[in-house]
Amino acid sequence: MKKGVLFIWVFIVFTVFIFGCKKNNPTAPAAEPTQIPAAEDTLTATATITPGDCATITQTASPVLSPSSTCTATRTATRTATRTRTPAATATSTRTATRTITRTITNTVTLTHTSSNTPNATQTYVAAAATQTAVAVPVYSSQFGASGTGNGQFNLPAGITVIGSNVYVCDRNNKRIQQFTTAGNYVRQWGNSTTFVNPQGIDGYAGTGEDVVFITDSTKIKKFGISGTTPTYYGASAESFGGGSNGAWGGTMATVTSDSFYFVPDTDNNLIKKMDLSNVKQSQFGTAGTGTGQLNYPCAIAPDNKTTTQYFYVADTFNHRVHKFTAGGTHVLTWGSLGSTNGKFNTPYGIAVDSMGFVYVSDTMNNRIQKFDSSGNYLSKWGSGGTGNGQFDFPGAIYITGNVFYIVDGYNHRVQKFTY
């Protein structure tokens, strides 16, 4: 009997002990820790981006970004929190915060990645904006011409045009027109001091029966058919150009549009004149002055597109700027001023527009060519003063066909060819 009572008592004590221990010995915390220790606060990397390259970058604790046009930065922060209860028991909780950031980057950009690792895994991202896009310029290809009076030589060449597979150049002080292949090989010449006074600008078109050019020659525009062995002279315009103190500079760079007209600056009179293909004036626009849309010795004009002309760009030479007009002569915008920094000019003399609508200007006294978009924003430049390949001494007329640029290098007595 005593042994039975003792056994029951021991069983009750043991049971109470076991249940009490289980109640005070949890296997995990009741909730996640209220705060996970923060990850590293700031990661900074600098990358030099080369236009055209592309790679995907994963950003780690100490990243170095490779050249890339599109960079993806990824940061993962992992922390372990420990919570202790009484009686002694330990539970471990792991929390991971991940954020993926994508940014398109051009050239050199600094990325700053700030990570605040709270229970809600809140992260922020700050990146410098891409600040510059590299703009390509044509590179020197070849040249033809030299100082002299012989075949293929020049004495202050001026205007230039390309018709089919031939290049035509106004050899101004030799008072003649010279014809070359597009590779720069001499073909023929015509004219002398009886034919020309001061041949300065030239442009034309490939006709169904014959090719035709219009040449500005002092106060007149002269028309030639050039398909035969000997060019055919069709006469001069009745309309006079120039007449001021520099009358011999009356008409400079002409341009023909496919709607059966050509346009030419009446340089001394500060006008732009529209002529039909019979050399009869149709209209004119422009006034002398320095104000908005006014002209001071305009030397060149270029259409935005010869097929469907909407705008003209005019080199306002002595005002050291460029104007944009509608095809009807309404002023749209002006850019440039006297200077030598980017976007400024010193006596702009030649102007042309490529098939993409970019505008190229001969910045003559600065011995360089500058490139702009159709809104007059500066993009790039090339050239410097000198006699070497790609250098200039009084660059003048520009003619663009496809990705090929012909630039008259006046006082170097040559034509230089550039390509993209």
> Which amino acid is present at 19?
F
Most confident of 12-16, 139-143, 217-221: 139-143
**What integer pLDDT is reported at residue 128 of this predicted model?**
43
Q: Residue 326's CB: how many other CB atoms inside 10 A?
A: 13
Is a pLDDT exceeding 50 seen at residue 45?
no
Closest by CA to 274, choosing from 242, 245, 301, is: 301
Q: Region 56-67: what's the mean pLDDT?
A: 40
pLDDT, tens digit, for every residue of 251-262? Answer: 667 788 887 898
> What CATH superfamily is the domain 139-419?
TolB, C-terminal domain (2.120.10.30)
Query: What contacts 159, CB < 8 A, 6 or more positions away?
Result: 169, 170, 199, 200, 201, 202, 203, 215, 216, 252, 253, 254, 396, 397, 408
**What integer pLDDT is reported at residue 253 of this predicted model?**
73
**What integer pLDDT is reported at residue 289 of this predicted model?**
97
Rounded to whole angstroms, how far apart are CA atoms 347 and 180?
Answer: 28
Q: Is 74 helix (H, G, I), strand (E, B) or coil?
A: strand
Rounded to whole angstroms, how far apart are CA atoms 349 and 8?
Answer: 119
Is a pLDDT exceeding 80 seen at residue 65?
no
Contact between 161 and 203 (Cβ < 8 Å):
yes
Range in 112-121, 180-189, 268-277 the model is least confident about: 112-121
**What integer pLDDT is reported at residue 242 of this predicted model?**
81
Rounded to whole angstroms, how far apart are CA atoms 241 and 231?
Answer: 24
Q: Residue ranges per domain, the chain? A: 37-127, 139-419
Q: Region 14-42: what's the mean pLDDT?
A: 45
Query: What contacts 157, CB < 8 A, 6 or more positions away?
Result: 145, 169, 170, 171, 172, 396, 408, 409, 410, 413, 414, 415
Contact between 91 and 65 (Cβ < 8 Å):
no
Is a pLDDT exceeding 60 seen at residue 5?
no
**What integer pLDDT is reported at residue 208 of this predicted model?**
83
* pTM across the whole model: 0.69
Contact between 177 and 189 (Cβ < 8 Å):
yes
**What integer pLDDT is reported at residue 202 of this predicted model?**
94
Contact between 410 and 156 (Cβ < 8 Å):
yes
On average, the pLDDT of the chain sits at: 77
**What integer pLDDT is reported at residue 306 of this predicted model?**
86
pLDDT bin (cut points 50, 70, 90) of residue 381 is very high
Rounded to whole angstroms, how far apart are CA atoms 184 and 280?
Answer: 34
Is a pLDDT exceeding 70 seen at residue 249?
no
**What integer pLDDT is reported at residue 308 of this predicted model?**
87
**What integer pLDDT is reported at residue 11 of this predicted model?**
54
Q: Region 88-103: what's the mean pLDDT?
A: 44
Range in 55-59, 91-95, 191-195 the model is least confident about: 55-59
Greater pLDDT, 20 or 62: 20
pLDDT bin (cut points 50, 70, 90) of residue 16 is very low
Q: Residue 411's CB: how many other CB atoms inside 10 A?
A: 15
pLDDT, tens digit, for every residue of 180-224? Answer: 999 999 999 999 999 999 999 999 999 888 999 999 998 899 999
**What integer pLDDT is reported at residue 250 of this predicted model?**
55
Rounded to whole angstroms, how far apart are CA atoms 388 and 143?
Answer: 11
Rounded to whole angstroms, how far apart are CA atoms 101 and 65?
Answer: 14
β-pairing verdict for 157-163 and 166-171: antiparallel
Closest by CA to 343, choosing from 378, 375, 371, 373, is: 378
**What integer pLDDT is reported at residue 207 of this predicted model?**
87
Rounded to whole angstroms, how far apart are CA atoms 94 and 84?
Answer: 15
**What integer pLDDT is reported at residue 2 of this predicted model?**
52
**What integer pLDDT is reported at residue 408 of this predicted model?**
97
Greater pLDDT, 121 or 194: 194
**What integer pLDDT is reported at residue 172 of this predicted model?**
95
Is a pLDDT exceeding 60 seen at residue 320?
yes
Q: Region 335-347: what's the mean pLDDT?
A: 98
pLDDT above 70 covers a percentage of the chain that reads 66
Contact between 323 and 331 (Cβ < 8 Å):
yes
**What integer pLDDT is reported at residue 143 of this predicted model?**
98
pLDDT bin (cut points 50, 70, 90) of residue 115 is very low
**What integer pLDDT is reported at residue 119 of this predicted model?**
47
Q: Across 309-364, where does the E strand assignment appear?
A: 311-316, 321-326, 331-335, 348-353, 359-363
Contact between 47 and 65 (Cβ < 8 Å):
yes
Range in 14-23, 106-115, 280-289, 401-410 the model is least confident about: 106-115
Is a pLDDT exceeding 50 seen at residue 21?
no
Cα–Cα distance list, 402 to 41, 201, 381, 399 (Å): 53, 21, 19, 10
Contact between 138 and 419 (Cβ < 8 Å):
yes
Burial of 154 (C-beta count, 10 Å sphere; 0-12/13-18/19+):
buried
